Amino acid sequence: MRDGQWRIAILAIGWLALTAAEKVTEPPANETQTAAGGQQQHAANPIVLSAPPVPKSTYRPYPNRYDEACYTAKDHDSADLCAQWRAALSGEKAAEEAHRATFWSIFASWINLLAVAGLLGTIWQTQRALTEARLTNKHTSEGQRAWVSSTVSIDRFTFDGDKVAIEYTCIFTNSGDTVAREVYVETRCFTAQTRAEASEIARIHRHIRDRRKPGRDALIPKESLTYLLAENVTVHSHHWDERGNIVLLIVTSVFYKTNLGEDAATEQSYTIGRTISGAGNIRFLRQDMEGCEVDDLAVMSHRSGEVT
């Protein structure tokens, strides 16, 4: 073939190839029209994207407090909101329970206060009852215990200037209802100044208490111990007062144990002299006592005390 014919043949083959390619890539007519219509609609109305639909949930604003369904919700927003509501409800319930606990705590405090007051009242009443019981026991034991006392009588008396010779009887008697054990007695006769009578009595009794010995005698109820005593007493010159008066004293002390094992003592003092008419008193005047007989003497117990 000639060169011109070859060129015509190549051009024809190229045109056929292009035509076949356009047919392959060209869409169908209806699709082309639809696409063209859609492009026109989109050009007229812009596309608006919407949120995906929310799936249905079993959550309720006020669920049953024991219901756990909201915690198993598939939607996280629903589960979170449920948890928030439950937290709020829990806070309200906690405040309510705290208020109730505070109320009952205050109520219990008042009850405890009343209980303490009642306990204190009971303790006070018990203390009073114990005190009364102790007093009753004391009175009962005192009524049944041993009581030892003394009496003094003068048997013989002479006074010669500065000497007093005296014989006297001292009787110690158990006037109680039980036995007095370990009885120890002691007596003293002495003179004292009229203004130092009380102090001298106290001094002698204290001296006897400090030097007393264990007793060995026992006195059954209503039994007595009798002592016949004789003493010579020197009357010191400085004991006489300006009126020529002194005090002649006999002191007695008895120590013993009661039926309860308690230590007891009876201390008594006696003034010896002549009775002053109308005064109810006893004095020991020099001029009155010289040549005085026993029947003219008086013995007065002017101090006694129980020591337990």
74-89 average pLDDT score? 71
Mean pLDDT of the chain, nearest integer: 78
User: 166 and 30: one domain?
Assistant: no
Q: With respect to residue 84, please indicate whether it lies within any of the assigned structural domains.
A: no
Select the more confidently predicted residue: 179 or 62.
Answer: 179
Whether 239 maps to a domain, the answer reads yes
Answer whether residue 214 is part of any domain.
yes
Per-residue pLDDT at 62 exceeds 50: no
Whether residue 30 sits in one domain with residue 170? no
Instruction: Specify whether 284 is located in the same domain as 159.
Output: yes
In this structure, are 154 and 32 located in the same domain?
no
- pLDDT tens digits for range 191-230: 888 888 888 888 988 999 888 888 888 999 999 999 999 9
At 104-114, the pLDDT tens digits run: 999 899 999 99
pLDDT at 45: 54
Query: What's the pLDDT band for 278 if we cut at 50, 70, 90?
Result: low
Higher pLDDT, residue 239 or 21: 239
More confident residue, 279 or 196: 196
pLDDT given for residue 223 in this prediction: 92
Q: What is the predicted pLDDT for the residue at 167?
A: 93
Residues 156, 21 share a domain: no
- Given a cut of 70, whether residue 3 has pLDDT beyond it is no
- The answer to whether residue 70 is domain-embedded is no
Q: Are residues 30 and 155 in the same domain?
A: no
What pLDDT was estimated at residue 251?
A: 92
User: What is the model's pLDDT at position 42?
Assistant: 47
Same domain, 303 and 170: yes
Summarised one tens digit per residue, pLDDT across range 130-178 is: 998 888 877 676 667 888 999 999 999 888 878 888 999 999 999 888 8
Q: What pLDDT does 106 receive?
A: 92
Q: How many domains does the chain have?
A: 2
Q: Which of 10-14, 146-150, 298-302 is predicted with the least confidence, judged by mean pLDDT?
A: 10-14
In a domain? residue 55? no
- Domain housing 33: 3-40
Q: Are 32 and 162 contained in the same domain?
A: no
| pLDDT surpassing 70 at residue 18 | no
DSSP the chain: --HHHHHHHHHHHHHHHHHHHHHHHSPPHHHHHHHHHHHHHHHHS-----PPPPPP----SS--TT--GGGG-S-HHHHHHHHHHHHHHHHHHHHHHHHHHHHHHHHHHHHHHHHHHHHHHHHHHHHHHHHHHHHHHHHHHHHHS--EEEEEEEEEEEEETTEEEEEEEEEEEE-SSS-EEEEEEEEEEEEE-GGGHHHHHHHHHHHHHHH-----EEE-TT-EEEEEEEEEEE--GGG--TTSEEEEEEEEEEEEE-TTS-EEEEEEEEEEEEEETTTTEEEEEHHHHTT--GGG-EEEEEEEEEE-
Of residues 56 and 229, more confidence is placed in 229
Is 230 a member of any domain?
yes
What pLDDT does residue 36 have?
46
What confidence category does residue 92 fall into, taking pLDDT thresholds of 50, 70 and 90? confident
**pLDDT surpassing 80 at residue 80:** no
> Does 80 reside within a domain?
no
Q: Does 119 score more than 70 pLDDT?
A: yes
* pLDDT: which is higher, 241 or 29: 241
Mean pLDDT value across residues 38-62:
53
Residue 156 counted as domain residue: yes
pLDDT at 255: 93
